[in-house]
Amino acid sequence: MTDHDAWPPEQPKQFTTLALVHHKNQPTEKQIIAMANATIAGDVTSIIAAATTNGQVEYNRSDSLKEVLKESKATNSLSDILAPLENPESEQLRTILIEGATGLGKTVLMKQIAYQWACGELLRTSHLVFLLYLRDPVVREMSSINDLVQYFYPEEKIAMEQADVCANYLCLSNGQNITFLLDGFDEFPEVLRKDSFIADIIQHRQLSLASVVVSSRSHACARLRDNVSCRVDILGFTKEDQLDYIQKALPGKPEKVKELVKYCDEHSMIGSLCFIPFNLTVLMYLFKRGIKLPSSCTEIYKYFICHTICHFLVKSKENLQDNIDLDNLPQPISEVIQQLSSLCLQALDKNQFVFTLNEVKVACPGFTTIPGAINAFGLMQAVEHFTYMGTTLTLNFIHCSIQEFLAAYRISCLSPDEEKQLIVSKFWSPLYRNTFSMYVGLTKGQRCSFKDFLFDGCQKNEIADRFFEDEMTCLWLFKCFYEANDKYTYDQIAKRLFSDGNIVLTKGFNHTTPLLLRDLLCLSFFLCKSRRKQWQQLNLAYCHITDAGLRILHQLSVGKGIIFEDINLMCNSLTSLSASAICDIVRSCKTNSLNISDNRLGDVDWVEHLLQVTLKKLYIRNTGLSSGGAVALFSAIRKNDNSHLECLDISDNPICDKAVEEITVYLQETSTLRHLDMNGLLISGDAIQTVVDTVFNNQTLNVLGLSYSYPFEVKTRTQALIEEKRKVNSSQQELRIVFQ
Contacts for 103 with CB less than 8 Å, ≥ 6 apart: 11, 276, 277, 278, 279, 399, 401
pLDDT of 60 above 50: no
Strands 380-387 and 390-397: antiparallel
pLDDT > 70 in the chain, percent? 77
Average pLDDT (525-542) is 91
Higher pLDDT, 581 or 225: 581
**Are 562 and 524 spatial neighbours (Cβ–Cβ below 8 Å)?**
no
**Are 453 and 424 spatial neighbours (Cβ–Cβ below 8 Å)?**
yes
Would you list the DSSP string of 11-59?
Answer: PPS--GGGEEEEE---SSSS--EEE---PPTT-EEEEEPPPEETTEE--
Phi, psi of 353 (to 5 degrees): -120, -5
The one-letter code for the residue type at 164 is D
**By C-alpha distance, which of 571, 668, 675, 660 is closest to 618?**
675
Cα 278 from chain centre: 16
| Residue 31 pLDDT class (50, 70, 90 cuts) | very low
Average pLDDT (625-633) is 85
Higher pLDDT, 691 or 44: 691
The pLDDT assigned to 166 comes to 75
Spatial distance between the Cα atoms of 63 and 40, rounded to a whole number of angstroms: 36
The pLDDT assigned to 465 comes to 87
* Chain segment 663-681, per-residue pLDDT in tens: 888 888 888 888 989 888 8
Please, where are the H alpha helices in 530-578? 547-557
In DSSP terms, 703 is beta-bridged to: 675, 736
**By C-alpha distance, which of 315, 310, 364, 388 is closest to 149?**
388
3-state secondary structure of 438: helix
- Work out the burial of residue 133: count CB atoms within 10 Å of its CB; fewer than 13 is exposed, 13-18 middle, 19 or more buried: buried
Question: In what side-by-side order are the strands of the sheet with 380-387?
Answer: 355-356, 390-397, 380-387
Domains in the chain: ranges and CATH: 16-234 (3.40.50)
* Chain segment 405-453, per-residue pLDDT in tens: 999 999 999 998 999 999 999 988 878 888 998 898 888 888 888 988 8
In DSSP terms, 387 is beta-bridged to: 390
Spatial distance between the Cα atoms of 666 and 701, rounded to a whole number of angstroms: 12
Taking all residues of the chain, what is their mean pLDDT, rounded to a whole number?
A: 76
The pLDDT assigned to 728 comes to 60
The pLDDT assigned to 466 comes to 87
Phi, psi of 525 (to 5 degrees): -65, -40
- Look at 174-178, 270-274, 321-325, 422-426 and tell me which has the smallest mean pLDDT: 321-325
The pLDDT assigned to 406 comes to 93
* Chain segment 174-228, per-residue pLDDT in tens: 888 888 999 988 888 878 888 888 888 888 888 888 889 998 887 777 777 767 7
Long-range contacts of 255-259 (CB under 8 A, 24+ apart): 256/287
The pLDDT assigned to 319 comes to 46
**Are 518 and 229 spatial neighbours (Cβ–Cβ below 8 Å)?**
no
Please, where are the H alpha helices in 79-231? 106-118, 137-140, 145-151, 156-173, 190-194, 197-202
3-state secondary structure of 600: strand
**Are 272 and 554 spatial neighbours (Cβ–Cβ below 8 Å)?**
no
Spatial distance between the Cα atoms of 386 and 155, rounded to a whole number of angstroms: 8
Higher pLDDT, 606 or 510: 606
Q: Would you give the DSSP letter of residue 92?
A: S
Higher pLDDT, 691 or 52: 691
pLDDT of 236 above 80: no
Angle formed at CA 109 by CA 107 and CA 110, multiple of 5 degrees? 65
| Residue 653 pLDDT class (50, 70, 90 cuts) | confident
Spatial distance between the Cα atoms of 513 and 542, rounded to a whole number of angstroms: 9
**Are 486 and 444 spatial neighbours (Cβ–Cβ below 8 Å)?**
yes
Please, where are the H alpha helices in 315-445? 333-349, 357-363, 400-412, 416-426, 433-443
Q: N- to C-terminal Cα distance for the chain? A: 56
The pLDDT assigned to 389 comes to 56
For residue 173, how many other CB atoms are within 10 A of its CB? 15
Helices (H), strands (E): how many in the chain?
27, 24
pLDDT > 90 in the chain, percent? 10
Spatial distance between the Cα atoms of 340 and 374, rounded to a whole number of angstroms: 11
pLDDT of 586 above 60: yes
- Work out the burial of residue 93: count CB atoms within 10 Å of its CB; fewer than 13 is exposed, 13-18 middle, 19 or more buried: middle
Strands 52-53 and 56-57: antiparallel
